[in-house]
C-alpha cells in the first residue's frame, strides 16, 4: 500500500503550483487593504461631491437673494418699519453678504453698493424717534424680537469690523473710505445707547443690558475687535497722519475712521463690569490683555495716529488695567506679546513694517552700528569667545548625529545671553533693510550730482557709500557666526545672495580697487590689451611661444582631454598652428593679480572687508546656481567676469597660505575665499570656463620641488589647522591645483614611495618574499575567492601577494607569480565585479555609461562588504601602479573625495531626472498642477519603497513657494543620501591602502583612469622592449608601427587594452608602465614559393596581459598585419589566440 502511494502522481498538471501559507496570507491582506482603500476613496468622493453641491447651491441661492433684494430696495417704495428692516432687509442681506463677500475675504463693487444702501437705511432708522420705525427698538421688544435683533446686530458688527480690517485709507479709493466711515458710524451707534433715539426711561435698563452684551461679543475672540483694529492701524503710515498731528479736529473721513476705531478699542473698558470675578468672557483683565497684545505692540504706534487721539489711549483708566494684566499674564501670553504667537489673521508684515524710523539719518545709523559691531567683535575676541565658540561648535558638529541635540547643546553651552542678542539683529536679515540703505545711497548720490551748491553740513559732506554698507554686513556675518553658532550667518547670507543687484554692485566696487587698469579678458583668452601682449617685440614673443610649446604643450594635453573630452588635435596645444594658442599657456602674469601677491596682509582694510563680504555671499549663491544660469544665461556674472573672480581668489588664497594670512583678524576672509575658490574650481573641473594657466599662475615661479612638497603635504595633512599657520607650506594643502597635473601624479607616487620606505623601516617588509601572501584563485570564482581570502587583510594588502590559479577543470595552473599573475588577477576581478551583470555596480543613464554603486547591492548577501572589498582592489591597483579599465561617475568620485554634490552634478548621473527638475524649477504656472509631493519611489528586488525627502513628505504638496526646496531635496537624495552607505563602504576599503589626503590631490575629472582617448605612438615606441629576436629595425616591427599609425584612435586604445588589459596609457607616459610594453617575435616562416604566390602568415597575434607582451608573428605585408591585428583586438581574447 505504501509502495503504491509512493508512486502516485498529481493529475492537476505540471503547471499547478501550491501557494504557501505566508504568500496566501499576504495576498489576502493586500486584497483586504485594497477593499478598504476603495471603500475610503468612495466615501471621500461622496463627501467631496456633497460639499461641492452644498457650496454650489448656497452660492446660487445667495446670488438669487441678492438680485431679489436689489429689486426690493431699488424699485419698491414701502414703509420701512422695524419689522420690515429685520425680516425683509437684513435677513437676506446678511445671508448673501456673508457667503459672497465675508467668506471669500473680499468685497466686490456690487457688494459695496448693497452694503452702502443697507447701512444708509439702518442709520436713518436708528435716528428715527418713532419706535415702530427704529430698528434698535426691537432690542427692548418681545423675547423673540430681542433674540433676532441680537443675532442680526452681532452679524452687522462682524461685517463692519471686516470692512475696517480691509480698509486702506492711504491707497484705497474714495468709495472704500466712505464705506468704512459708514461702517464705523453704524457700529459706534449700535454699541452706545445714547445714539438710540427711541429709548425711554422705562426701557433704558433693558437697552443698557443689551448693549453691554453686544460690546462683550465685540471684544471677545469670536467678535475679533482688536485684531481687526490692529490690521487697520498697521496700514497707517506717518504720511497719512502728518497733516493731523498738529491740528485739533478736521472734518476728514479718514480721521473719523481712526477716531472711531480708537473709540471702539476703548469701549470694552468703559462698559465692562469692573468686578473681575463677574462671570463672562469679557472683563477688565481680558480687555487689557487683548489691548496689550494687539494694540500696544504695533510698531511706531504713536507715529501712526493723530496726536489729538493719543491722550485717550494713555488715560489712567486704560493703562492701569493693562499694567495689572501684565503682572498676572502667563508665559504663553507674554510670548504672544513678543510677536511669536500672533493670531493667524494678522499679517506677518505687521510685525516688521519694512521701514526705518521717520527722519532717520541713514549715514549716521550705519556709521554708529559699524562702530558698535567692531567694538563688540574686539571684545569677544579679547575674552576668547570667538575662538572658543568655533572650537566647541566644530566639536559638536563632528560628534552629534542629531540636529536636535546640536541645537540643545549650543543653547546650553553658549547661554541665553547670546541668543537674546539675535532678537536685536532681526531687521538685518530682512531684505527691506538692505534695499532701503541702497536706495538712500543712490538718492543722496543723485542729489549731490545734480546740485553743486549744497549746505556744508555733515549730512552731505559724509554721504552713505557702498563700502559703509559692506562693513555693516561683514560685521553682521561675523557676529551671527559667534552669537548664533547653530545656524551661523545663514539668514544674512540668504538675504544678501538673493537681493537683486547687490552682488553685482559689490563686485563692480571691488573690481575698481583690484583691477584699476581695466585689463580685459575675452572668452578666447585674447590678452592683446594686457601687459603681456603690449610687448611689440616679435622675437620675445616667439621665444615665449617656443618655450610654451616645449614645456606646456604635452604637460596639459592629458588633463584637457580628461575635462573636455576633446582629442589632441582639438585642444591644439602641441601642433602650434596658431600663435595665440601658444601664448595661452604662458600668459600667467595676466592671471596673477598683482595687488594680491602679498596675500591679505598686502591689502587695505577696505578691500579686505569688500572681499570678505563678496566671497561669503557669492559662495552661498554658487550652491544653488545651476549650470544654465552660470554658463548660458551668465547671471549674475559673465564668464569673463567669472575668470577674473577666479584669478583674484586664486592669487589671494595661494599667497595668503604661502606668506601667512596675518593672524586671526584675517581668518574670516581666508575661510570665505577658500570656500568660494573651491566651488569655482570644482565647477571649472566639471565644465571648463577658465584656461588651465589661470590655476597655475600664482605658483609658477616659487613652487617647491615635488619631493619636498610631498613630504610637507604628508606631514601637515594630519593637522590641517597647524598647516595653515606655517607660511610657504600651507598652500600645498589649501591650493593643490596650482601644481600641474603631472606634478601631482608624481607627488602621489612619491607618497607611495615614502609609505613603502616607512613600512620597510618598520620591519613590515624584511626582504623579497619574506612577508608575501599566498592566495589560490579558481578561474570560475575569481571574485568570491578574492573576497574570501583578501578582504580581511586590511592594510596588509600593501604587502606582496602571490597568486596561483586553478583552472575550471580543477587543476592547478603552471607558472610562478613574479607580478604578472597578480596583475592579471586584479584585472580579471575588476572586470567581473564592476560589470553591471554582477549586481554591485550599475551604469549611469548618460551616454558615458559610467560606473556607480548599485543601490540594490545593500540587499544582496555581503553586498556592502563586497563593495568595500572592491575599494581595496582599486586601492591596491593604485598602490602598485596597475591600471584598471574602469570609469566611475563624477558624483561617486565626489563622495570618495569627501565632497558634497549639488544640483547640477545630477546631469552626470541621471540626465532625464535633471531635466525634469529643471522643468519644475522654471515652471511658469502653478506647480500644484503637477501633483508632486516630497517623496521618491524606489524599486529594488521587485518591491517598491516610498521614501520621504523630509519629515511628513507624504503630506507636503509641492507649491510655487517650496518648489526650490523640492528640487534641491530630490537632487540631494539622488546625489548624496541614496549612495552614501555604499560610497562610504567603498571609501573604507580604498583608504585601507590610500590615504585620504593623497586622494585630495586630484579633482573628480582627473580621478578616472578609463576612457577611449588616443595614445601617444611616439611615447609608446620609445618605451617598447623587443624580445625573441625582434629589434627596432626588424621589418615586421617597422610594419607594425606604420600600421598602428594608420589606426583610428579607438582602435589604438583597443590594441593597448588587448596587450595590457587597459585602454588607458599611464598618467605620466609609457615609461611608467610596469612591466614594460614588449613585442615578442613568433617565428612563422612561410615557404618562398608561397610568399611569391601571395600567401602570408596565417597565425593571429596574441598577448600575455600579465606581462604586457604582444606576441607578433613575422608578417611580410602591412595589409596582412593590419587585418590580423584588427581581428585579434576585436575578438576579446588574448592568450587564447596563441
CB atoms within 10 A of CB 766: 9
At 21 the pLDDT is: 83
- SS in 3 state form for 45-112? HHHHHHHHHHHHHHHHHHHHHHHHHHHHHHHCCCCCCHHHHHHHHHHHHHHHHHHHHHCCCCCCHHHH
At 933 the pLDDT is: 93
What is the grid cell recorded at 1049? 584612435
Q: How far apart are CA 990 and CA 982, in angstroms?
A: 12
Q: From residue 746, how far is each of 84, 471, 723, 894, 1023 by CA, in Å? A: 101, 44, 21, 22, 19
Residues marked active site are found at: 1106
3-state DSSP call for residue 967? helix
Beta-bridge mates of residue 852: 842
Spans of the chain below 50 pLDDT: 1, 4-5, 14, 239-251, 273-282, 331-332, 338-352, 389, 392-419, 454-461, 519-586, 720-730, 766-769, 1010-1012, 1089-1090, 1093, 1133-1138
* H-only helix segments in 922-1034: 963-972, 980-990, 996-999, 1004-1007, 1017-1022
Q: Yes or no: say if 838 and 860 are a contact pair by the CB < 8 Å rule.
A: no
DSSP labels, 1042-1072: HHHHTS-HHHHHHHHHHHHS-SS--TT-GGG
Among the listed residues 644, 681, 677, the one whose alpha carbon sits nearest the alpha carbon of residue 521: 644
At 519 the pLDDT is: 46
Among the listed residues 824, 835, 912, the one whose alpha carbon sits nearest the alpha carbon of residue 870: 835
Q: How far apart are CA 754 and CA 750, in angstroms?
A: 6
What is the grid cell recorded at 608? 579686505
DSSP labels, 747-784: HHHHHHHHHHHHHHHTTS--STTTT-EEEEEEGGGHHH
Chain-centre distance for alpha carbon 412: 29
With a CB cutoff of 8 Å and minimum separation 6, the contacts of 83 are none
CB atoms within 10 A of CB 686: 18
First-to-final CA distance of the chain: 65
pLDDT exceeding 90 applies to what percent of the chain? Answer: 20
At 579 the pLDDT is: 37
Q: Yes or no: say if 287 and 268 are a contact pair by the CB < 8 Å rule.
A: yes
Among the listed residues 1030, 1027, 1020, 1043, the one whose alpha carbon sits nearest the alpha carbon of residue 1128: 1043
- Longest Cα–Cα distance in the chain: 147
At 364 the pLDDT is: 83
Q: How far apart are CA 60 and CA 524, in angstroms?
A: 69
Is the whole model's pTM more than 0.95, yes or no? no
What is the grid cell recorded at 152? 442680526
What is the crossing angle of helices 385-399 and 403-424, to 10°? 150
Residues 500-510 have pLDDT tens digits of 999 999 999 99
Amino acid at each position: 500500500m505504501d509502495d503504491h502511494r509512493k508512486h502516485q502522481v498529481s493529475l492537476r498538471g505540471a503547471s499547478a503550483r501550491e501557494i504557501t501559507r505566508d504568500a496566501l496570507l499576504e495576498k489576502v491582506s493586500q486584497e483586504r487593504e485594497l477593499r478598504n482603500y476603495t471603500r475610503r476613496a468612495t466615501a471621500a468622493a461622496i463627501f467631496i461631491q456633497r460639499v461641492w453641491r452644498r457650496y454650489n447651491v448656497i452660492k446660487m441661492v445667495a446670488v438669487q437673494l441678492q438680485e431679489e433684494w436689489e429689486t426690493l430696495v431699488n424699485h419698491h417704495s414701502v414703509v420701512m418699519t422695524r419689522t420690515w428692516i429685520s425680516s425683509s432687509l437684513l435677513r437676506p442681506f446678511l445671508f448673501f453678504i456673508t457667503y459672497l463677500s465675508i467668506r471669500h475675504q473680499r468685497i466686490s463693487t456690487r457688494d459695496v453698493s448693497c452694503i452702502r444702501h443697507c447701512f444708509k437705511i439702518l442709520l436713518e432708522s436708528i435716528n428715527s424717534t418713532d419706535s415702530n420705525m427704529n430698528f434698535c427698538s426691537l432690542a427692548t421688544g418681545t423675547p423673540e424680537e430681542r433674540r433676532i435683533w441680537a443675532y442680526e446686530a452681532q452679524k452687522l458688527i462682524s461685517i463692519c469690523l471686516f470692512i475696517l480690517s480691509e480698509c486702506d485709507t492711504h491707497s484705497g479709493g474714495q468709495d472704500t473710505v466712505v464705506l468704512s466711515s459708514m461702517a464705523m458710524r453704524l457700529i459706534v451707534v449700535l454699541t452706545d445707547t445714547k445714539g438710540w433715539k427711541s429709548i425711554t426711561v422705562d426701557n433704558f435698563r433693558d437697552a443698557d443690558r443689551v448693549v453691554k452684551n453686544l460690546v462683550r461679543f465685540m471684544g471677545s475672540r469670536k467678535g475679533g475687535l482688536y485684531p481687526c483694529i490692529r490690521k487697520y492701524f498697521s496700514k497707517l503710515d506717518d504720511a497719512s497722519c502728518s497733516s493731523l498731528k498738529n491740528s485739533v479736529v478736521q472734518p476728514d473721513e479718514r480721521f473719523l475712521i481712526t477716531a472711531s476705531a480708537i473709540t471702539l478699542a476703548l469701549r470694552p473698558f468703559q462698559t465692562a463690569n469692573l468686578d473681575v470675578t463677574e462671570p463672562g468672557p469679557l472683563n477688565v483683565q481680558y480687555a487689557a490683555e487683548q489691548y496689550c497684545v494687539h494694540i500696544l505692540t504695533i510698531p511706531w504706534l504713536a507715529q501712526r495716529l493723530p496726536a489729538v487721539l493719543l491722550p485717550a489711549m494713555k488715560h489712567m483708566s486704560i493703562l492701569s488695567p493693562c499694567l495689572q494684566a501684565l503682572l498676572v499674564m502667563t508665559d504663553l501670553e507674554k510670548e504672544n506679546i513678543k510677536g511669536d504667537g500672533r493670531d493667524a489673521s494678522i499679517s506677518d508684515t505687521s510685525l516688521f513694517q519694512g521701514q526705518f524710523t521717520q527722519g532717520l539719518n541713514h549715514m549716521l545709523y550705519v556709521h554708529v552700528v559699524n562702530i558698535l559691531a567692531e567694538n563688540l567683535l574686539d571684545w569677544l575676541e579679547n575674552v576668547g569667545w570667538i575662538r572658543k565658540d568655533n572650537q566647541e561648535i566644530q566639536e559638536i558638529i563632528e560628534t552629534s548625529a542629531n540636529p536636535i541635540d546640536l541645537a540643545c547643546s549650543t543653547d546650553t553651552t553658549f547661554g541665553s545671553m547670546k541668543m537674546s542678542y539675535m532678537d536685536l539683529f532681526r531687521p538685518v536679515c530682512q531684505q527691506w533693510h538692505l534695499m532701503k540703505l541702497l536706495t538712500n545711497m543712490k538718492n543722496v548720490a543723485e542729489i549731490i550730482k545734480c546740485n553743486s551748491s549744497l549746505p556744508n553740513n555733515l549730512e552731505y559732506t559724509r554721504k552713505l557709500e557702498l563700502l559703509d554698507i559692506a562693513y555693516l554686513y561683514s560685521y553682521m556675518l561675523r557676529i551671527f557666526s559667534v552669537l548664533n553658532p547653530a545656524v551661523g550667518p545663514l539668514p544674512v547670507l540668504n538675504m544678501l545672495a538673493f537681493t537683486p543687484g547687490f552682488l553685482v554692485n559689490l563686485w563692480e566696487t571691488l573690481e575698481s580697487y583690484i583691477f584699476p587698469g581695466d585689463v580685459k579678458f575675452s572668452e578666447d583668452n585674447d590678452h592683446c590689451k594686457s601687459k603681456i601682449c603690449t610687448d611689440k617685440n616679435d622675437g620675445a614673443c616667439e621665444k615665449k611661444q617656443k618655450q610654451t610649446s616645449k614645456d606646456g604643450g604635452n604637460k596639459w594635453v592629458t588633463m584637457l582631454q580628461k575635462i573636455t573630452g576633446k582629442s589632441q588635435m582639438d585642444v591644439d596645444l602641441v601642433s602650434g598652428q596658431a600663435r595665440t594658442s601658444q601664448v595661452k599657456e604662458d600668459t600667467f602674469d595676466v592671471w596673477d593679480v598683482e595687488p594680491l601677491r602679498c596675500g591679505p596682509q598686502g591689502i587695505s582694510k577696505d578691500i579686505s572687508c569688500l572681499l570678505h563680504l563678496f566671497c561669503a555671499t557669492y559662495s552661498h549663491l554658487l550652491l544653488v546656481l545651476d549650470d544654465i544660469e552660470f554658463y548660458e544665461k551668465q547671471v549674475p556674472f559673465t564668464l569673463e567676469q567669472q575668470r577674473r573672480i577666479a584669478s583674484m581668489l586664486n592669487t589671494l588664497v595661494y599667497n595668503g597660505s604661502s606668506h601667512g594670512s596675518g593672524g586671526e583678524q584675517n581668518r574670516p576672509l581666508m575661510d570665505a575665499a577658500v570656500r568660494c575658490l573651491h566651488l569655482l574650481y570644482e565647477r571649472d573641473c566639471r565644465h571648463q570656463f577658465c584656461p588651465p594657466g589661470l590655476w597655475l599662475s600664482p605658483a609658477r615661479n616659487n613652487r617647491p620641488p615635488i619631493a619636498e612638497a610631498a613630504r610637507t603635504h604628508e606631514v601637515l595633512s594630519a593637522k590641517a589647522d597647524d598647516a595653515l599657520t606655517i607660511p610657504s607650506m600651507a598652500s600645498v594643502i589649501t591650493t593643490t591645483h596650482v601644481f600641474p597635473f603631472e606634478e601631482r601624479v608624481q607627488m602621489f607616487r612619491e607618497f607611495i614611495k615614502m609609505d613603502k620606505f616607512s613600512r620597510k623601516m618598520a620591519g613590515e617588509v624584511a626582504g623579497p618574499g619574506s612577508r608575501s601572501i599566498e592566495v589560490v584563485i579558481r578561474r570560475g570564482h575569481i571574485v568570491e575567492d578574492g573576497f574570501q581570502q583578501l578582504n580581511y587583510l586590511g592594510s596588509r594588502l600593501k604587502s606582496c601577494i602571490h597568486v596561483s590559479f586553478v583552472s575550471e577543470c580543477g587543476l592547478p595552473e603552471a607558472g610562478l607569480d613574479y607580478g604578472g599573475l597578480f596583475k592579471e588577477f586584479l584585472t580579471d576581478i575588476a572586470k567581473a565585479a564592476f560589470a553591471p551583470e554582477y549586481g554591485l555596480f550599475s551604469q549611469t543613464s548618460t551616454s558615458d555609461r559610467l560606473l556607480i554603486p548599485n543601490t540594490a547591492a545593500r540587499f544582496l548577501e555581503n553586498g556592502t562588504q563586497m563593495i568595500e572589498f572592491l575599494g581595496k582592489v582599486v586601492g591596491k591597483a593604485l598602490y602598485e601602479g596597475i591600471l584598471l579599465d574602469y570609469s566611475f561617475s563624477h558624483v561617486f568620485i565626489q563622495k570618495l573625495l569627501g565632497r558634497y554634490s549639488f544640483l547640477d552634478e545630477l546631469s552626470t548621473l541621471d540626465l532625464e531626472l535633471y531635466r525634469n527638475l529643471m522643468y519644475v524649477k522654471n515652471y511658469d504656472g502653478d506647480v500644484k498642477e503637477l501633483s508632486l509631493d516630497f517623496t521618491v519611489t524606489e524599486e529594488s528586488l521587485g518591491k517598491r519603497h516610498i521614501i520621504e525627502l523630509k519629515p511628513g513628505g507624504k503630506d507636503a504638496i509641492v507649491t510655487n513657494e517650496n518648489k526650490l526646496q523640492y528640487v534641491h531635496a530630490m537632487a540631494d537624495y539622488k546625489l548624496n543620501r541614496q549612495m552614501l552607505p555604499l560610497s562610504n563602504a567603498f571609501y573604507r576599503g580604498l583608504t585601507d591602502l590610500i590615504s585620504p589626503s593623497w586622494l585630495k590631490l586630484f579633482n573628480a575629472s582627473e580621478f578616472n583612469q578609463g576612457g577611449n582617448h588616443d595614445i601617444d605612438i611616439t611615447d609608446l615606441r620609445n618605451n617598447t622592449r623587443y624580445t625573441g629576436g625582434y629589434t627596432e629595425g626588424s621589418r615586421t616591427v617597422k610594419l607594425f608601427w606604420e600600421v598602428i599609425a594608420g589606426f583610428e584612435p579607438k582602435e589604438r586604445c583597443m590594441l593597448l587594452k588587448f596587450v595590457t588589459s587597459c585602454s588607458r596609457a599611464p598618467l605620466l607616459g609609457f615609461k611608467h608602465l610596469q612591466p614594460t610594453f614588449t613585442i615578442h617575435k613568433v617565428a612563422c616562416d612561410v615557404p618562398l614559393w608561397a610568399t611569391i604566390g601571395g600567401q602570408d602568415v596565417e597565425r593571429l597575434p596574441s598577448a600575455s596581459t600579465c606581462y604586457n607582451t604582444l606576441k607578433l608573428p613575422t608578417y611580410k605585408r602591412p595589409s596582412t598585419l593590419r587585418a590580423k591585428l584588427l581581428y585579434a583586438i576585436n575578438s576579446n581574447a588574448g592568450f587564447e589566440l596563441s
